[in-house]
Structure 1
Amino acid sequence: MELDRRPVASLWIGAELHYLNQLCLKSHLRHGHPVTLYCTDDVKNAPDGVEIRPASEIMSIDMALVNDTSASFLSNVFRYKMIQKTGAIWIDCDAFCHRPFPDDQEWIFAGHGMRGALNCGVVALPRECALMDQLLDYYDNLPDYPAWWNKRQRKQMDRIKDKGGYTHAAAIYKAERTAFGPQAFTWFAQQTGDIERAMTPDTLYPVPFQLNDIFYDPHGRVEGWFTDQTMSVHLYTNGTKPWWRKNPPLENSYAARMCAEVGIDPAQALES
């Protein structure tokens, strides 16, 4: 395959990819996007063609903080530092490439779900812009509380900190898991006015998060959510039930059909 389109990149914390992650990374190669996977460990089961690079090329990964939060926690700052350093499009490892990203589209992000907030699972930004500056300043200089939080959220974090044992960043995460991801991205895009650049959910997140079981339903109608504008399909592995992670997808489900189409054997990379 000829990799002549815009590069995309992601982060993986851990030693092995799940088959859905293999599927999503390889789907971008299939459409001509060079794929770089920044890793904290020696990942051996990435699809052929994916370039493996140490995550330390972009930033150091505080594994103690990851252990207090989640494996995906630091991806929320990593993605912007990566974009600023390389200019690549950020893709979550559960974002399936339905059609290639336009070569000339400088801003790529969209709303998702049923509430209209932005998601940051697929992001392209100018390497120098006000939104980038504000996001990185937020992560590098954490406020006492995120500016958009209400009294209930602040009290929740205070209770967590009073119990002790967590850093300030971990306490924010424990109070609101998405405070470093979609919440922050939505807030700062509102402050800079760049929220007006957001694409509609059907472009990057056609299936709402609340309905993510549909990807494994052999009688589901996943493509019914797609439009002519759909470029990426988010598979929401963080919300996937354990049974789907530990077993191959059922025949004729979207996950099974895409694995067959792209050339991924689910049985070779299941969650143990």
Structure 2
Amino acid sequence: MAPIAQTAATRRPVASLWIGPRLHYLNQLCLLSHVKHGHPTTLYCTEPVSNVPEGIIVRPATDIMAVDMEIVRQTSESFLSNVFRYKMIAATDAIWIDCDAFCHRPFPDGMQNIYAGHGFRGALNCGVVYIPQQGELIARLLDYYDNLPDAPAWFNKQQRKKIEKQDPSLPQAVRIYNAERTAFGPQAFTYFAQQTGDYDKALSSDVLYPVPFQLNDVFYDPYGRVEGHFTEATLSVHLYTNGTKPWWRKNPPLANSYAARMCAEIGVDPAQALEE
């Protein structure tokens, strides 16, 4: 992989988390797209990662928080990243980026509330997020994760019953996760943003999620018009690797597709980092 040329400007730092020994080419692409736009880009890792591209700063995840991999195994990687992102912001003041968020334009220096609605629903997503290091929203999120309740305040009766039916010896994080997988991600972020009045500060979806999740195949279509979803306000393009079909993960993108064009632009060879 040839190193990309970094812009002269040094912009706001961004950071993400990786759990596992190897990046997929789409993750390499998205991380390097931030480097291209001058953002110092840090990847926090729970173990050594064999193929982090040159230009990415690698740090242990334990720089931010203690990592209980047993809880991760009982839940998912997304559980840890949902807790990690707010602790990372509080510790470093960096912008959180998922490893499948492509930097279309650099984040403005003065932008203080970077989060947006997602797809066709009203919930806020937290795939790309920055909130002030000190304030009611981040304080409530950190308190939620550090002092897990018997059930999240927004849970309905059915969700609460799902918690009650589980083995009480399980970690509380696991019991909540088993009742509702998104209870630590968009649900928590949306609820606390509503409680603090920050919900109304959200950006429109075209800024961070211009392509709805339900249409994510368009990134691999050589005849797709991905840029038709973009506006002048678009900063980030979420590629939704958690919803990518197995064929696209295991094979290089077709020529002229958005994924192939962005790889050529950034300097990533997909064939060298496919899912095994």
- Where on the TM-score scale, by shorter chain, does this alignment land: which range? over 0.9
Q: Aligned with 1:80: secondary structure?
A: helix
Q: Tell me how far apart the structure 2 counterparts of residues 170 and 50 of structure 1 sit (CA, whole Å).
A: 32
Q: Aligned with 2:231: secondary structure?
A: coil
Letter in structure 1 aligned against 2:186: P
* Aligned with 2:234 (options 222, 230, 233): 230
Give the deviation of 1:244 after TM superposition.
Answer: 1.2
* Gaps in structure 1 of 5+ consecutive residues: none
Letter in structure 2 aligned against 1:63: M
Structure 1 partner of 2:183: 179
Q: Tell me how far apart the structure 1 counterparts of residues 259 and 181 of structure 2 sit (CA, whole Å).
A: 27
Give the deviation of 1:32 after TM superposition.
Answer: 0.6
* Aligned with 1:205 (options 201, 206, 209): 209
The answer on 1:9 being equivalent to 2:46 is no
Letter in structure 1 aligned against 2:40: P
Structure 2 partner of 1:65: 71
Q: Tell me how far apart the structure 1 counterparts of residues 51 and 78 of structure 2 sit (CA, whole Å).
A: 19
Give the deviation of 1:167 after TM superposition.
Answer: 2.2
The answer to whether the Cα contact below 8 Å between 1:24 and 1:97 also exists between their aligned partners in 2 is yes
Q: Aligned with 1:73: secondary structure?
A: helix
Give the deviation of 1:124 after TM superposition.
Answer: 1.0
State the 4+ residue runs in structure 1 displaced beyond 3 angstroms.
Answer: none
Q: How does 1:47-62 map to 2 (within 5 A)?
A: 47-62=53-68
Structure 2 partner of 1:167: 171
Structure 2 partner of 1:80: 86
The answer to whether the Cα contact below 8 Å between 1:3 and 1:29 also exists between their aligned partners in 2 is no
What is the root-mean-square deviation in Å for CA atoms of aligned residues? 1.2
Structure 2 partner of 1:191: 195
Paired residues in the alignment total: 270
Structure 2 partner of 1:264: 268
Q: Can you list the C-alpha shifts for 1:154-191, whole angstroms capped at 9, x where unaligned?
A: 223333x14x7742211211221111001000000000
* Aligned with 1:26 (options 3, 17, 32): 32
Q: Tell me how far apart the structure 2 counterparts of residues 25 and 146 of structure 1 sit (CA, whole Å).
A: 33
Percent identity, please: 71
Give the deviation of 1:44 after TM superposition.
Answer: 2.4
The answer to whether the Cα contact below 8 Å between 1:3 and 1:34 also exists between their aligned partners in 2 is no
Structure 2 partner of 1:138: 144
TM-score of the superposed pair, with normalisation by structure 2? 0.95
Q: Can you list the C-alpha shifts for 1:197-223, whole angstroms capped at 9, x where unaligned?
A: 100000000111111111111222211
Letter in structure 2 aligned against 1:146: P
Letter in structure 1 aligned against 2:41: V
* Gaps in structure 2 of 5+ consecutive residues: 1-5
The answer to whether the Cα contact below 8 Å between 1:250 and 1:256 also exists between their aligned partners in 2 is yes
The answer to whether the Cα contact below 8 Å between 1:14 and 1:43 also exists between their aligned partners in 2 is yes
Q: Aligned with 1:72: secondary structure?
A: helix
